[in-house]
Structure 1
Amino acid sequence: MSTTTSKVRPGSNETSTAPARYEDDLYGWVEAQIALLKAGRLTEVDAENIAEELADAGHDQYDKLESALSVLMMHLLKWDHQATHRSRSWVNTVHEQRKRITRVLRKNPSLKSRIPEATEEGYEDARDNAAAETGIAKKLFPKVCPYDWSVITTRVIEFDDLRSPEE
């Protein structure tokens, strides 16, 4: 494995001998690895760190899914446990997080197999955060996620729900 590489700059026949070390300059290292890969110089790439970065990229996508689920479920908990505090802001947050979930899953369809895990982990954070934001004791929120995928993704949450039937 080489941590110092020669970088071939696009549009140039010159090769820079400036080191692009993974540990010191991630951006420079990425640019150097891209240039090496595009040039077919596979024996010179930093395979170990490329593999680590690719794994991190995959984890980042899972984290985006889990985070959006957590924020969404926190708002569902707040909606269900603090009806008098409901707001358009909560509705907007639910809709925004649903869009994020849809986008992450559209761009990363293999994450669909990890929805149960992401939901379970996201709910742990949602429960903690709902307790912190509402002042309601954590033990009063269900310990296990009370929402199935259909509720999480399609339950109608609208500000109009706040109006009484007489209006």
Structure 2
Amino acid sequence: MTTAYETDFYQWTQQQAALIRQGLFSELDTAHLIDEIEDMGGSKERELESRLGVLLAHLLKWEFQPARRGNSWRLTIKEQRRRIDRLLKKNPSLKPLFPGTVIDAYGDARLMAAREMDCDDSQFPLECEFTVEQITGDYWPE
């Protein structure tokens, strides 16, 4: 049996919200609601990973291309640090995941930096050498 969840997600969300407002909990599509709630939480983790990827790529560019350091890179680093800080303040349960997320994001950061610098990713260390404090603090690689 096809449901609105498969055919019209927006309609499904509105139906589920209406059922909750009316207190008709037995009529809820609980299996899909559980999936969607878990996915909502996962989106915050994916946001952290994405922001870390951008930040780490710019830290790599800053370190490995000192002659090209500019305001754009500096501001991107500052912006991502601010956004990561806000994300962690609003979602403190992400803090314990931070070190593992850095590991995952660093692989992407190497590729992003290599693409933007038009070089091979082997130019960069295989593992992230920035500490959590350096990533989130006011550290600027030399």
Structure 1 residue 79 and structure 2 residue 79: aligned?
no
CA deviations on 1:65-93 (whole Å, 9 max, x unpaired) are 00000000000000000000011000110
* Correspondent of 1:91 among 66, 74, 83: 74
**What is the count of residue pairs matched by the alignment?**
141
* Correspondent of 2:104 among 121, 140, 143: 121
Q: Which has the higher contact order (CA 8 A, sep 6+)?
A: 2
Q: CA offset at residue 99 of structure 1?
A: 1.4
Match of 1:70 in 2: 53
State TM-score, norm by structure 1.
0.80
> In structure 2, what is the Cα distance between the partners aligned to 1:117 and 1:43?
39
Q: CA offset at residue 2 of structure 1?
A: 9.2
**Structure 2 unmatched ranges of 5 or more:** none
Match of 1:152 in 2: 135
Question: What percent of counterpart residues are identical?
Answer: 41
Q: CA offset at residue 115 of structure 1?
A: 0.4
**Structure 1 unmatched ranges of 5 or more:** 4-20, 162-167
State TM-score, norm by structure 2.
0.93
| 1:18-29 mapped onto 2 (5 Å cutoff) | 21-29=4-12
Higher radius of gyration, 1 or 2: 1
- The 3-state SS of whatever aligns with 2:104 is helix
Task: List, as ranges, runs of 4+ consecutive aligned residues in structure 1 with deviation greater than 3 Å.
Answer: none
Cα RMSD between the aligned structures? 1.7
> In structure 1, what is the Cα distance between the partners aligned to 2:64 and 2:104?
21
CA deviations on 1:31-65 (whole Å, 9 max, x unpaired) are 11011112111110000110111111111100000
- The 3-state SS of whatever aligns with 2:5 is coil
Contact 1:79 1:86 in 2 (8 A): yes
> In structure 1, what is the Cα distance between the partners aligned to 2:6 and 2:100?
32
